[in-house]
Amino acid sequence: MQPVDFTTLTASCAELRSDWLPARLEQVYQCDRYTIALALRTLDQRGWLMLSWHPQAARVCISDPPPRTPDTFTFSQQLRHQLGGLALTAIETIAPWERVIDLQFARRPGDPALWHLYVEIMGKYSNIILTNQTNQVVTAAHQVSHQQSSVRTIQTGQPYDIPPTLTDPIPTLEEPQSRWQERISLIPDTLRRNLLKNYRGLSSALVLSMIQVADLDPEQSTDTLSLKEWQTLFDRWQEWLRALEREQFQPGWLPQGGYTVMGWNRIRPEKTVQALLNQYYRDRLNEQEFSQLRHQISQKLSHILKKLSVKAQDFRKRLSQSDQADQYREQADLLMAYLHEWQPGMKQIALLDFATGEPVNIPLNPEKNAVQNAQGLYKRHQKLKRSRFALEPLLTEVQSEIDYLEQVEVAIAQLDRYHKPDDLASLTEIRDELIQQSYLDDPEQRYRSNTPQTTNFLRYRTPNGFEILIGRNNRQNDQLTFRLAGDYDLWFHTQEIPGSHVLLRLEPGTAPDDTDLQFTADLAAFYSRARQSDRAPVVYTEPKQVFKPKGAKPGIAIYKQERVIWGEPQRGREVVMKDEG
């Protein structure tokens, strides 16, 4: 993940000073253990300023509104109590070339600052610290004791000390090219490494972009550069310094997925630095959370399904044994009918079957007489008969669990990688559903029964323009089928194969043709366990013919008066790829 460097922080603060000062602080909300959002209102706009001390994604930018869930963090309560209703009057740096900014709060613009909120953007040492007028620490996002650091402590009630001063030389526009070149090439090494270690204020991303725009190789040794190449690189160096001095930046996206505020090598410009930072770090953090959550759910599902499969096999084995119940009764009947043929000490006896006349070998206990052996066979018959009555509902229950979890597994398989925030929202819904169904633990009590259901269904259009909605998880499947579906719509699902519920939306008086039906069936087949098959049977019917069995788990439905059409998952894949492209 690309960290916020000095250049990016300078660009972000320049925009904030231009567009958001002065602003009244209306609300403070802590989104998670690393992020707070300040609700700011100016004369003509309102927005949320995100301050993050995340070890990989520390940043300052205008962001999306925070989620509507209760804020139970102490740090945000302290900030709300001290800063609520005050005006943000200044955003200053504490020292040249430092990645620490000072947000100053006063009663009104022009008044002296009552509070200072220091935002330290320093990788894993990032922090946010609130001090009063005398620079005494009132609260901090992360307090640092003597045991944690012998260099700099951050404790409530202590004076605020700025981070240790950097010792690397400061880049300046006044430095001549000869001195700059001498400093970088004094000890031969790669161009990228020498630039990074000889000046402050540089980051790997910035140096790499600077070298690439100069059409040089970052791993090229400094003693191999020609005079022309040195001149080209120095021109880019001064271009960077002039951008910092004038606070003129060109935010945009890089080909490899990163970003730049210098405009170098960008493939797509972005309107503002705020939008750039908000989207980049939101997506990268969401992607991290998505991968971890998907792995956690997949592992848990695999473990549960393996246990249920073993249990189902055991039940089936015991049921197959119970199929022999009638055989034991018949043997007992034969033995009772032919008591006169029994002899003491016999270990088995061959008797003619009543119906077929064929000999039947019956094992005997030599220590018991014929009647006792027959009674033992009758008992085994009764025991196996009772076990069938007990095992059948147990097997049905286990098979129902397997069907449900396989349906969840299909939803997880469809969410194979992160593309947009809707993907993480859908995966979170699956997690909450599994918590509600007691398949996952919830030590942090995140799940709430009143969690609103999202409507971020997958959406497509048939060749004739009819809308198709596809559920991304069981919650959405239920919502699609039993709440959203109208009388004129058509409901699609793979036949006896776990998959998404698919709804073809139709207006009164309209009718889909075979092309629309086939198009929808192809998508239904693709969003199912039959995704890798050539063909899969897909049923479709009216929504009023789809029912949820009493007590059934989410996503489970039965249907009637269905018609069958063969869907081709690979054609569905082409539609999806075209839509994503």
> Any idea what the CATH number is for the domain that residue 31 is in?
2.30.310.10
Residue 581, pLDDT score: 65
Could you tell me which of 99, 132, 95, 101 has the C-alpha nearest to residue 116?
132
Domain of 72 in residue numbering reads as 6-140
Q: What is the pLDDT along the chain (581 residues), one digit of tens a residue?
A: 999 999 999 999 999 999 999 999 999 999 999 999 999 999 999 999 999 999 999 999 999 999 888 888 999 999 999 999 999 999 999 988 999 999 999 999 999 999 999 999 999 999 999 999 999 999 999 998 888 887 888 999 999 998 888 788 899 999 999 999 999 998 889 999 999 989 999 999 999 999 999 999 999 998 899 999 999 999 999 999 999 999 999 999 998 889 999 999 999 999 999 999 999 999 999 999 999 999 999 999 999 999 999 999 988 887 777 767 777 788 888 888 888 888 888 888 888 888 788 888 888 988 899 899 889 888 888 887 777 778 788 888 888 889 899 999 999 998 988 988 889 999 999 999 899 888 988 766 554 444 455 678 999 999 999 999 999 999 999 999 999 999 999 999 999 999 999 999 999 989 899 999 999 999 999 999 999 999 999 999 999 999 998 888 888 999 999 999 999 999 999 999 888 76
- 512 and 549 both lie in a single domain: yes
- 305 and 251 both lie in a single domain: no
**How many domains does the structure of the chain reveal?**
4
108: Cα separation from own chain's centroid: 42
Q: Could you give the 3-state DSSP secondary structure of residue 58? A: coil
Considering 452, 484, 510, which residue would you say is the last residue of a domain?
452
- Domain membership flag for residue 1: no
- Domain membership flag for residue 414: yes
Q: Could you give the 3-state DSSP secondary structure of residue 90? A: strand
Compute CA distances 543 → 260, 299, 333, 487, whole Å.
50, 34, 55, 7
- 259 and 345 both lie in a single domain: no
The overall longest dimension of the chain from CA atoms, in Å, is 122
Enumerate the β-bridge partners of residue 540.
Answer: 492, 563
In eight-state DSSP terms, residue 421 is: H
Distance CA 170, CA 202 (A): 10
- 447 and 529 both lie in a single domain: no
- 393 and 332 both lie in a single domain: yes
Extract the tokens encoding 172: 């300046």
Distance CA 264, CA 193 (A): 20
How many residues in the chain?
581
- 324 and 378 both lie in a single domain: yes
Distance CA 50, CA 31 (A): 9
Distance CA 171, CA 97 (A): 9
- Domain membership flag for residue 123: yes
- Domain membership flag for residue 233: yes
Distance CA 205, CA 183 (A): 21
- Domain membership flag for residue 106: yes
- 530 and 391 both lie in a single domain: no
Q: Which long-range contacts (CB under 8 A, 24 or more apart) does 385-391 make?
A: 385/322, 385/325, 387/318, 387/319, 387/321, 387/322, 388/319, 388/322, 388/325, 391/315, 391/318, 391/319, 391/322
User: Residue 433 carries which side chain, given as an amino acid letter?
Assistant: E
Identify the CATH number of the domain in which residue 235 sits.
Answer: 1.10.8
Considering 420, 452, 484, which residue would you say is the last residue of a domain?
452
In eight-state DSSP terms, residue 95 is: S
Could you tell me which of 101, 95, 23, 117 has the C-alpha nearest to residue 59?
101
- Domain membership flag for residue 431: yes
Distance CA 86, CA 98 (A): 26
- 462 and 417 both lie in a single domain: no
Residues 387, 322 contacting (CB under 8 angstroms): yes
- Domain membership flag for residue 206: yes
Find the Cα–Cα–Cα–Cα dihedral 139, 143, 145, 147, rounded to 10°: 170
- Domain membership flag for residue 163: no
Considering 271, 306, 328, which residue would you say is the last residue of a domain?
271
Kindly state the helix (H) or strand (E) to which residue 469 belongs, with its residue range. strand 467-470
Distance CA 384, CA 329 (A): 11
- 445 and 464 both lie in a single domain: no
- 309 and 342 both lie in a single domain: yes
Enumerate the β-bridge partners of residue 90.
Answer: 104
- 546 and 418 both lie in a single domain: no
Three-state secondary structure along 119-178?
A: EECCHHHCEEEEECCCCEEEEECCCECCCCCCCCCECCCCECCCCCCCCCCCCCCCCCHH
Could you tell me which of 489, 579, 492 has the C-alpha nearest to residue 539?
492
- 438 and 496 both lie in a single domain: no
